[in-house]
Amino acid sequence: MQICNDCTFALIADARMLPVMSLRDRKRARTRQALIDAAAELFERKGYDETTIADITATAEIGARTFFSYFASKEELLFPDAAERVQAAVDAIATRDPAEGPAEVLLRALSQVTATSDEMVSPLAALRLRMIQTVPAVRGRALQEQLRAQREIAKHLAAAFPGQLDPVGAAALTGAFVGAVTGALQALLDNADGTDPAALRTAMTTATEVALAPWRR
């Protein structure tokens, strides 16, 4: 293993060598997570509308002006990994195997996301789903995130599989994929009752595979 001043290199599961985060990046990640954790605790205890950004920064022991270096708004705290999940799907499309069809690529992206993070089946995810049902601002943000994800993924799918999908077909497949994940998570987290995250991930993947069965090779 090679060591340098700002980063080290570690062998990861897919046998590629990737740089570990620098000290500055690790500090930023900790600050960001502190804000997310503080917000989740306050939303749960006080309610979303009753919690201010000042409350969140005070609980996280972070300067109020620092907040906007990490998040543009209060509702964004409930969707911290949305962009990363979209990028995972785009990356899976870009690195597709010739034997993979569009549905297989999306399922692989889901598998990779859930293998590296429990966020989708975490207490924050359960809180987010409850807030979507009860808080108009959060519901609006969720719709924006979902539409953005579907458009971005569908665009890349149509470009990658021109012989199989036109823009309408790509949009339909992506909508089925996003809807299956969202619906499965809703049902699973509503009835989780402390279920192990690994079991939730497995159940979500199985449900999504069933939903995408008509598109699978």
Q: Decide if pLDDT at 1 tops 80.
A: no
Phi/psi region, residue 29 (left: phi>0; alpha: psi -120 to 50; beta: rest), is alpha
9 backbone dihedrals φ, ψ, rounded to 5°: -120, 130
pLDDT in tens, 68-91: 999 999 999 999 999 999 999 999
pLDDT at position 48 is 96
CB 62 within 8 A of CB 31: yes
CA separation for the pair 90, 102 (Å, rounded): 12
At 101, the pLDDT band (50, 70, 90 cuts) reads very high
Tell me what the mean pLDDT of segment 20-30 comes to: 85
pTM of the shown model: 0.81
Q: Decide if pLDDT at 128 tops 90.
A: yes
Query: 49: which residues sit within 8 A by CB, 6+ positions away?
Result: 135
Q: Decide if pLDDT at 115 tops 70.
A: yes
Q: Is 8 helix (H, G, I), strand (E, B) or coil?
A: strand
CB 200 within 8 A of CB 188: yes
Which of 78, 39, 76, 45 is CA-nearest to residue 57?
39
Tell me what the mean pLDDT of segment 89-98 comes to: 94
